[in-house]
Every structure is written in structure tokens, then in C-alpha cells.
């Protein structure tokens, strides 16, 4: 008896369109090669959107050769310049400052101002505060498209072997990075044109410029030469997440698709994902585990997240959700693993994929993580294919899952298929094929207890919707406060509204155009020789912080104007004093209200912040979860100790400020005075920043260990 279709336009997907060919591209080496092959045949239009795009990344490596330039920026420039009428539009997320050291400096120069006039590059910051544009899509002539989890940036290229010592896996400076696993889907046909419509709408929202669909005079085939299709002539669904923003309504198709697909499973649910924190998805999985005849659920996650900040936040949230699933696993049908590769030492494979395979009937590949953010806060795009009883599609879906399992287990897809057929179980197949070398190992989900406690009150770490000031205040102040017409409370609301109004002005009005980096640098240079320059600069930071002026602009301008040493000192003093002033304003307006109406929840939060105040503030300083000004005021209205707040701000901001000021100054020098010496100096600065980051991480680890010992003694 045929089952009810999972894919339904208007409910869990935007469009369903036919694809002439579909190929599952496992790991970035195959994707980058296919990307090059498709763009070489572009005639009219190249559309690219990404969470990150780096012009320096090498596209093909090792034995592969290119007649065109190998670095992304040079490659795009050459492809566009050699074909008359070919236009390329590249749109990257206008990232939060926390990612500054991970991103290419001055991308607008590398991919925009210094390239061919038909290569257009823009940064897209039109999203709610704290959100990101997370889609990774490429569309060529509306004929071929790529969608998945792989950005065209550094630290992505790798092969399915994920060899610990692969000499090709290096960044633009020749530095090695850990193995990286991810998946992309290539499609051709009508669905590529649908994705072209999606990207043109993104460009319109970001720039106000309307792009026309390409009109091709000939039937040029852009499909990458040599790329074998896994499927031909199949319907593909496009599902989206878009947060409510300005005049645009919220879109939660991806969330609905996850729930519907999980609910449709009969035998197996196979998941690969970077995160697992979504409450909605967790509840859907828990419900299936509680059923007596429900499906097996095999989840593959990274052993740990990238960097101490994510380990301290997203891994803690993950542990909480996995505990819920384990408690729901009444019949022993849950397996949670991480891919293990010998020879990596303390490192692990960076599993970044976003894959769902249900039975042999449904495949979903895209950009969405199993996090709350991806369900309703960040901009996402996934592709999905449903077998609908067609044996050829079921064979391709099962083969894709077995191929992934074979990669992780260090064996072949055929061996995986045979073992599943013999045991009738995904989990037993993993147990039988697991070995001592490359393999899948059970994931240890334990994290320090105090981090789990902190996550109970840190809803802004992984929000599922845009966070407004009311939500932020209700996180700290009980609802009863809102019923009292306290003058100070009214003053707080007015002040917060004004501050957010200023923040909006810098982002969306003409102020953004005339108070840009060049204008600020020019203004700073006019006061550089003034004897009161330090006081003036710090004053600008304080006022700028209170009116939510973009701090990144001030920091870079300070570094270029005053040099790395004074630039760092002025920027740090300015940022800290600005935070302290906002803290004082929040304390003055909200402290009495908080003490008078404090309830059980706010007291619990206050105790956690009091016990771990320094670390909590450091995490908040580094996490782009809300405007700093609002966070500072809310902190002032809570029970956070002033010195914990101040030193947490210093320690949390100093590494990033040091790196940005030092890097910004030397970058400008290297650009104006290109030489071996200036390049070597820049490389040296990067090495120092990396070393400092490692030392900082070890310090935090020791602090965590000490905190755990104290908690154990207290218990």
C-alpha cells in the first residue's frame, strides 16, 4: 500500500521541480572540481551566495590541473572576462565580528573593486540582529545548480579519505587544517531555474537591484564534464528557512520537512549533522523512539565542535537534547556516533554535513543544521528527493547512505549494503563493521555541569526566532514587572527603543553611506595630532556604544590611524568604558525594579552568573547573540558583579581587538608597500594570533577543570 507523500508544496517546501540530472557530491574536493567544470561553460549568468566566500581558496589540488587560475577570485575574474555578456553576482553574509579572524580581510576589494566590471560582489546584512545568511548555493545560467553545506572558502577542501597527513589539505598560507567532511548536491534542469529565482530575490533584498533571468541563445550544457549522475529525470523539492524581517514573512518549510520526514520513517532514520540542538526535531525523534515498532535512528555528529566557544555552548545544548533522546529510547533503537580517524591526536574530523536519509525513500541535503537557528532564525536552503515507490530512486537513496557509512567506517558501500541486508539493522551493521582504525565510535555526550546550568538561561545562544528587546528583558525580568507602571521601567523601554533605533539607522539609512570606514578614518586623522586625541577617541567609543554605532568600523579606523599599539589600547579602553557606561545605565534604570519584583527564575540566573560570572560574560562577549549595548544594560540590571562584568569584557574582547588592530594596521601596510618583508610580517602576526588563541583555550580548559573539581567537592 503506497504511503502518503512527504513533500507538499506550501507546507514543507517552496517548489517542486524536475531535475534532468542529480549527483551527490561527497566532500569538497569533488564539489570544487564540479564547480570549476560548470563555470567554465557559463554563458550568461553566475549566481553565488554563501555564509563565507574567500577569494584565496584553491579549487583543485594534487594531480588535477587547471588551464585557468586556480584561486577562486582569479578564477571567477578570468571566467567572466573571457566571455562577452557573462555576468557574475556574488553575495556573502556580512558576518559578525566574532568571525573576523576566520574571514578574508577586505573581501569587497578582493572580489569587487579590483575585479572585472561584470563581476559583482556584495555583502548581505539584511537580516535580524544576531542572525546569519547561511545558504550555500551556486547557479550557472539557470541550467545547473549546487546546494549543500559547503562554502567556497578555506578549511573546506578534503577528500573522502580524510587522511590525517594529506599534504594537499592546507590553507592559502600553506598551513595544515584538520579533515573536513561535508556534502553538496548538483542538479540540472528546471529546478536550477527555480534556485536562480531564489538567488535573484536574495540579491534584490540585499542590494535593491533586480536581476533578470538569463536568456540563452543556444542550448549550452553546463553540466560538469565527467560528473556521473546518481539520478536522472527526478522531481526535486526546494525548502527554505527565512526569518521574519521588515516586510517579509517568516518561512519555516525546513522545520516542517524535518518533522514530516521523521514521522514517515518505517525502518531507518540516518542523520549526519554539525549540530543537534533543535527542540522541535528532538521532540520528533523522541516520539519515534517511544513507539514500540518505530524506526532505528542512527545519528552521526562531530566528536566536538570547532573552537572552545562552540564547545561551551552548542555542545552543552547538544548534550541536553541527547539526554532526552536516550531517556526516550525504550527499545534500544538509538545509536549516536562520531567519525574517528587515527593519527589526528587531539583533533577530530570536522563533520559539517547536513544530511537526512529516511529508509530508502527520502534524501535531504542542504545548508540547515539541526539547530534552533536553522529552523527559523538563519536563512537556509535544502533540496529533497522522494522515491514515491520508484525502485531506481530507492536504490540511489540507499546507495548514497551506504556510501556515507562506508566512508566513515573505512569500508565500501557494497560491504555496508551486504551487512544491512544480513542483519536487517543499521545499528548492528555499524557494530559489525566498526574496527580499531578508521571507524565510527559512540559519542560521549558529557559536558561540565555548570555549562549545562548556564544554557538553561542562555536562550539567545541558539534562538529559533528573531530576538526583540522584550524577549531579551523577559529573559532577566519576570512578567509581573510588566504589570507595574514604574517610571524607571518606562524609562528603560524608551531608552532601549532609542538605542535600537540608532542601531537601525546605522544599518539601513543614509547614515551608513556617509559614516563609512573611509569617512571615519579621515575624521580620525584630523585629530591624530591633537593633544587630547586619546580622550576624544575614547569619548567617541563611549558615545558610539551608547547609540549602537558599529564597533568594527571604529576599531579598524583606530588601528589604521594610530597604529597597532595605540590603536589596540584606545580601542580596548573605548570598548570597555562604553560597556561600563551602558552597564551603569542599566543598573540605574533597572536595578530597583529587578530587586523589587525578582522571582525564582531571575534569582536562579543571578546565582549562576554570580558563580561563573567571569566566564559567562566572556562567552556573551564573543557570541553574536544580541546588540552589545542592550546586553550591557541588561547585565547592569541583573546581579552580575561589576568586576566580573568588567574583567569578563576585557578578557572576552581583548584577543579579538588585539588581532583586528594588529592585523588591520599590517594589512594596510602590506597593501601599500607589497614586499617579501611586509608579507612575512603579516604571516608572523597571524602565527602569533593563532598561538595566543591556543594559550587562551588552555587557560579556559584549566578553569573548567578547576570548576568541576570544586563542584564535585561541594556535592
CA distances from 563 to 552, 559, 652, 662 (A): 16, 5, 22, 8
- Are residues 652 and 623 in contact, defined by beta-carbon separation less than 8 angstroms? no
Q: Which three cell numbers stand for residue 575?
A: 570598548
Q: Tell me, what's the pLDDT at 593? A: 41
Q: Are strands 87-93 and 119-124 parallel, antiparallel or unpaired?
A: parallel
Cell 536553522 appears where? 374
% of residues, the chain, pLDDT over 90: 49
Average the pLDDT over 51-59 and give the result.
92
Q: Phi/psi of residue 275, each to 5°? A: -130, 165
Choose the weakest-confidence range: 155-164, 464-473, 504-513: 504-513
Tell me the pTM.
Answer: 0.70
Q: pLDDT-based confidence at 536, cuts 50/70/90?
A: confident
- Are residues 625 and 460 in contact, defined by beta-carbon separation less than 8 angstroms? yes
In 3-state terms, what secondary structure has residue 283? helix
Q: Tell me, what's the pLDDT at 91? A: 94
Q: Tell me, what's the pLDDT at 309? A: 54
Count of beta carbons in the 10 Å neighbourhood of residue 208: 8
Q: Tell me, what's the pLDDT at 673? A: 52
Question: In this model, does residue 447 exceed pLDDT 70?
Answer: no
Question: In this model, does residue 93 exceed pLDDT 60?
Answer: yes
Burial of 209 (0-12, 13-18, 19+ CB in 10 A): exposed
3-state secondary structure 424-464: CCHHHHHHHHCCCCCEEEECCCCCCHHHHHHHHCCCCCCCC
Q: Which three cell numbers stand for residue 327?
A: 531517556
**Tens digits of residue pLDDT in 249-304:** 999 999 999 999 999 999 999 999 999 999 999 999 999 999 999 999 999 999 98
Domains parsed from the chain with CATH numbers: 17-234 (3.30.870.10), 238-449 (3.30.870.10), 468-653 (no CATH)
Please tell me which of 60-64, 547-551, 665-669 the model is most confident about, judged by mean pLDDT.
60-64
233, 135, 240: which is closest to 188 by C-alpha?
A: 233
Q: pLDDT-based confidence at 440, cuts 50/70/90?
A: very high
Q: Tell me, what's the pLDDT at 206? A: 92
| Residue bearing the bigger pLDDT, 320 or 467 | 320
Average the pLDDT over 65-86 and give the result.
90
Q: How far apart are CA 338 and CA 348, in angstroms?
A: 9
- DSSP structural state of residue 100: G
| Residue bearing the bigger pLDDT, 687 or 593 | 687
**Tens digits of residue pLDDT in 350-371:** 999 999 999 999 999 999 999 9
Q: What is the DSSP string of 537-548?
A: HHHHHHHHHHTT
Q: pLDDT-based confidence at 123, cuts 50/70/90?
A: confident
**Tens digits of residue pLDDT in 14-35:** 999 999 999 999 999 999 999 9
Burial of 677 (0-12, 13-18, 19+ CB in 10 A): exposed
Average the pLDDT over 179-189 and give the result.
97
Q: Tell me, what's the pLDDT at 666? A: 55
Q: Which three cell numbers stand for residue 32?
A: 570544487
Cell 540566573 appears where? 605
Q: pLDDT-based confidence at 602, cuts 50/70/90?
A: very low
CA distances from 29 to 18, 129, 402, 593 (A): 27, 34, 20, 57
**Tens digits of residue pLDDT in 695-706:** 655 555 555 455
Q: Tell me, what's the pLDDT at 581? A: 82
Q: pLDDT-based confidence at 476, cuts 50/70/90?
A: very low
Q: How far apart are CA 70 and CA 58, in angstroms?
A: 6
**Tens digits of residue pLDDT in 340-353:** 999 988 789 999 99
Choose the weakest-confidence range: 221-225, 287-291, 475-479: 475-479
Question: In this model, does residue 307 exceed pLDDT 90?
Answer: no
Count of beta carbons in the 10 Å neighbourhood of residue 189: 22
Q: pLDDT-based confidence at 495, cuts 50/70/90?
A: very low
Q: 430-444 b/e with 16+ CB inside 10 Å = b?
A: beebbeeebbbeebe
Q: Tell me, what's the pLDDT at 219? A: 73
| Residue bearing the bigger pLDDT, 192 or 117 | 192
Q: pLDDT-based confidence at 4, cuts 50/70/90?
A: confident
**Tens digits of residue pLDDT in 94-116:** 865 445 555 666 565 556 556 77
Helices first, then strands: H and E counts in the chain: 23, 18
Choose the weakest-confidence range: 153-157, 181-185, 257-261: 153-157
In 3-state terms, what secondary structure has residue 470? helix
Question: In this model, does residue 73 exceed pLDDT 80?
Answer: yes
| Residue bearing the bigger pLDDT, 528 or 242 | 242
In 3-state terms, what secondary structure has residue 53? coil
Q: Phi/psi of residue 68, each to 5°? A: -95, 165
Cell 540507499 appears where? 398
Amino acid at each position: 500500500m503506497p504511503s502518503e507523500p512527504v513533500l507538499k508544496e506550501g507546507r514543507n517546501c517552496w517548489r517542486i521541480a524536475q531535475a534532468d540530472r542529480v549527483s551527490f557530491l561527497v566532500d569538497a574536493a569533488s564539489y570544487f572540481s564540479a564547480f570549476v567544470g560548470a563555470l567554465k561553460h557559463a554563458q550568461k549568468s553566475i549566481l553565488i551566495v554563501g555564509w563565507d566566500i574567500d577569494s584565496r581558496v584553491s579549487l583543485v589540488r594534487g594531480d588535477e590541473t587547471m588551464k585557468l587560475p586556480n584561486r577562486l577570485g582569479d578564477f571567477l575574474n578570468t571566467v567572466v572576462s573571457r566571455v562577452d555578456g557573462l555576468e557574475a553576482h556574488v553575495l556573502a553574509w556580512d558576518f559578525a565580528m566574532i568571525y573576523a579572524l576566520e574571514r578574508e580581510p577586505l573581501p569587497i576589494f578582493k572580489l569587487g573593486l579590483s575585479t572585472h566590471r561584470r563581476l559583482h560582489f556584495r555583502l548581505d546584512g539584511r537580516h535580524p540582529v544576531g542572525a546569519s545568511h547561511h545558504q550555500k548555493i551556486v547557479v550557472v545560467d539557470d541550467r545547473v545548480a549546487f546546494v549543500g553545506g559547503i562554502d567556497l572558502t578555506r578549511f573546506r577542501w578534503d577528500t573522502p579519505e580524510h587522511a590525517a597527513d594529506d599534504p594537499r589539505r592546507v590553507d592559502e598560507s600553506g598551513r595544515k587544517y584538520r579533515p573536513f567532511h561535508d556534502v553538496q548536491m548538483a542538479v540540472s534542469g528546471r529546478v536550477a531555474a527555480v534556485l536562480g529565482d531564489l538567488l535573484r530575490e536574495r540579491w534584490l533584498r540585499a542590494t535593491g537591484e533586480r536581476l533578470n533571468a538569463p536568456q540563452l541563445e543556444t542550448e549550452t550544457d553546463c553540466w560538469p564534464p565527467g560528473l556521473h549522475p546518481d539520478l536522472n529525470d527526478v522531481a526535486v523539492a526546494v525548502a527554505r528557512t527565512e526569518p521574519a524581517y521588515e516586510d517579509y514573512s517568516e518561512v519555516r518549510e525546513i522545520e516542517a520537512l524535518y518533522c514530516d520526514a521523521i514521522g514517515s520513517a518505517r525502518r531507518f532514520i540516518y542523520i549526519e549533522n554539525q549540530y543537534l540542538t533543535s527542540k522541535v526535531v528532538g521532540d520528533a525523534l523522541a516520539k519515534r523512539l517511544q513507539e514500540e515498532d518505530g524506526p532505528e535512528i542512527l545519528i552521526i555528529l562531530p566528536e566536538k565542535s570547532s573552537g572552545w566557544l562552540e564547545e561551551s555552548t552548542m555542545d552543552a545544548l547538544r548534550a541536553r537534547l541527547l539526554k532526552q533522546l536516550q531517556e526516550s529510547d525504550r527499545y534500544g533503537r538509538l545509536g549516536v556516533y562520531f567519525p574517528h580517524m587515527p593519527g589526528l591526536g587531539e583533533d577530530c574530523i570536522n563533520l559539517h554535513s547536513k544530511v537526512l536519509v529516511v529508509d530508502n525513500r527520502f534524501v535531504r541535503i542542504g545548508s540547515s543544521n539541526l539547530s534552533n537557528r536553522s529552523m527559523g532564525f538563519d536563512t537556509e536552503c535544502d533540496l529533497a528527493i522522494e522515491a514515491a515507490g520508484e525502485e531506481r530512486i530507492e536504490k540511489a537513496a540507499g546507495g548514497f547512505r551506504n556510501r556515507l557509512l562506508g566512508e566513515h567506517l573505512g569500508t565500501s558501500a557494497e560491504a555496508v549494503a551486504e551487512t544491512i541486508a544480513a542483519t536487517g539493522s543499521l545499528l548492528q551493521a555499524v557494530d559489525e563493521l566498526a574496527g580499531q582504525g578508521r571507524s565510527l565510535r559512540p559519542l560521549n555526550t558529557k559536558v561540565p555541569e555548570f555549562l549545562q546550568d548556564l544554557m538553561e538561561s542562555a536562550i539567545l545562544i541558539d534562538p529559533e526566532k528573531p530576538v526583540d528587546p522584550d524577549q531579551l528583558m523577559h529573559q532577566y525580568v519576570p512578567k509581573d514587572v510588566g504589570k507595574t507602571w514604574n517610571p524607571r521601567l518606562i524609562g528603560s523601554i524608551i531608552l532601549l527603543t532609542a538605542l535600537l533605533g540608532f542601531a537601525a539607522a546605522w544599518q539601513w539609512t543614509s547614515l551608513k553611506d556617509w559614516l563609512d570606514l573611509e569617512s571615519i578614518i579621515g575624521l580620525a586623522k584630523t585629530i591624530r595630532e591633537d593633544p587630547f586625541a586619546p580622550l576624544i577617541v575614547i569619548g567617541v567609543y563611549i558615545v558610539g556604544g551608547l547609540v549602537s554605532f558599529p564597533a568594527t568600523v571604529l576599531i579598524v579606523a583606530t588601528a589604521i590611524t594610530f597604529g597597532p599599539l595605540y590603536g589596540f589600547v584606545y580601542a580596548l579602553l573605548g570598548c570597555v568604558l562604553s560597556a561600563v557606561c551602558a552597564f551603569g545605565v542599566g543598573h540605574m534604570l533597572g536595578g530597583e525594579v529587578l530587586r523589587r519584583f525578582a522571582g525564582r527564575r531571575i534569582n536562579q540566573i543571578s546565582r549562576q552568573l554570580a558563580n561563573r560570572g567571569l566566564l559567562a560574560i566572556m562567552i556573551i562577549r564573543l557570541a553574536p547573540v544580541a546588540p552589545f549595548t542592550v546586553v550591557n544594560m541588561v547585565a547592569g540590571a541583573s546581579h552580575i558583579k561589576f568586576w566580573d562584568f568588567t574583567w569578563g569584557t576585557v578578557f572576552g574582547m581583548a584577543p579579538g581587538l588585539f588581532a583586528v588592530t594588529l592585523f588591520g594596521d599590517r594589512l594596510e601596510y602590506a597593501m601599500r608597500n607589497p614586499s617579501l618583508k611586509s608579507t612575512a610580517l603579516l604571516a608572523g602576526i597571524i602565527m602569533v594570533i593563532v598561538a595566543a588563541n591556543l594559550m587562551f583555550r588552555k587557560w579556559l580548559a584549566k578553569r573548567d577543570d578547576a570548576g568541576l573539581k570544586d563542584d564535585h567537592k561541594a556535592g
